[in-house]
Each structure stands twice: as C-alpha cells, then as structure tokens.
Amino acid sequence: MSSSLRIAIGSDHAGYDLKQHLVSFITGLGHTVDDQGTYSTESCDYPPICAGVGRTVRDGKADFGIVLGGSGQGEQLAANKVRGVRAALCNCLYTARMARAHNDANVLSMGARVVGIGLAEEIVTTFLSTPFEGGRHARRVAQLSELEDEF
C-alpha cells in the first residue's frame, strides 16, 4: 500500500456509523480522509453525496473513494454516473481484490447492513492495497472508457 493515500468518503444515513468508524480506521493507517457527509443518521438522499465522492476522485483530489449505504447498491450506481469513475460494490474480500486487480476500480462501495466492522476494515485494506494488474485488463478498462464516450 502506498505510504499515504487521499481517500474521499461519503455515505447516506444507513452508512453513517460505518463511515465514522472507517474515517478513524483509515486515518489510523496514515491516510488522509475527505469526509463528504452525511454527518448524522438523519434520513438523507445519497446520490449527490456519492457523486461528490466520484467527482473528487475524477478530478484527482483523491486517490480513491469510498461510498456507503444500507446495501451499497444505490451508492455504487450514483458514483458510477460520474465519467471516469469505476465504482465497485464489494461486500467480500474476493470482490474487493478483483475490483482493483482486474477492473482498476477507483471507488469502493459497501453495504453497512451487509458487512460488519471487521470485514469492512479488511475490505478497505484489500481494496487500497491491491494493484491493478494491467495487461489484458487494461484493454478492457479502456473499452469501458470508450463506452462512456459513446453513450
């Protein structure tokens, strides 16, 4: 893992408690965190928060993003609306590793109602430490970018 990464993070109300925990966990690893909300468990809409995390990554102000919600599904969808974002829903270690190694994912989505704190820490660590393998996978990632341009 790089010595110090910049991580943008955001959640809806369902992901708030896990987000708070992960902010401490990630800063404890020596990384910088840009917490983009929400800032309570009061019900809120996740699309603008997750798109904001995606824009921060796209614009180079963060190395990676993390979005959290109840299932992580909607958060992943919202982040993926930002051109250049490859958000992956990872609720296990295998998908976290493959999202980085094969898809060069730059935003991690997780479901706070799906994973516990310990597993979430392991998923974050795996996601942040797994390098992109390149090779044949680079060709496929380039094809994803071409699809963005086409549509």
Q: What is the tens place of the pLDDT at every residue in 7-26?
A: 999 999 999 999 999 999 99
Looking at residues 117-131, what average pLDDT do you find? 98
Burial class (CB in 10 A: 0-12, 13-18, 19+), 142: exposed
Cβ proximity of 34 and 9 under 8 Å: yes
Please write the tens of the pLDDT for every residue from 54-104: 999 999 999 999 999 999 999 999 999 999 999 999 999 999 999 999 999
Q: Does the residue 1 lie in any domain?
A: no
1 pLDDT exceeds 60?
no
Catalytic residue among 13, 21, 102, 137: 102
Nearest C-alpha neighbor of 66 from the set 135, 132, 137, 115? 115
- φ/ψ of 107, rounded to 5, equals -135, 130
Q: Active site includes 137?
A: no
Q: Active site includes 75?
A: yes
Cβ proximity of 67 and 11 under 8 Å: yes
CATH number of the domain within which 145 lies = 3.40.1400.10
Q: Does the residue 63 lie in any domain?
A: yes
Per the structure, the count of domains in the chain is 1
Q: Tokens for 74, please give them.
A: 């909607």
Q: Does the residue 137 lie in any domain?
A: yes
Domain with 55 in it: 6-150
Which residues, 6 or more positions from 24, have their beta carbon under 8 angstroms from its beta carbon? none
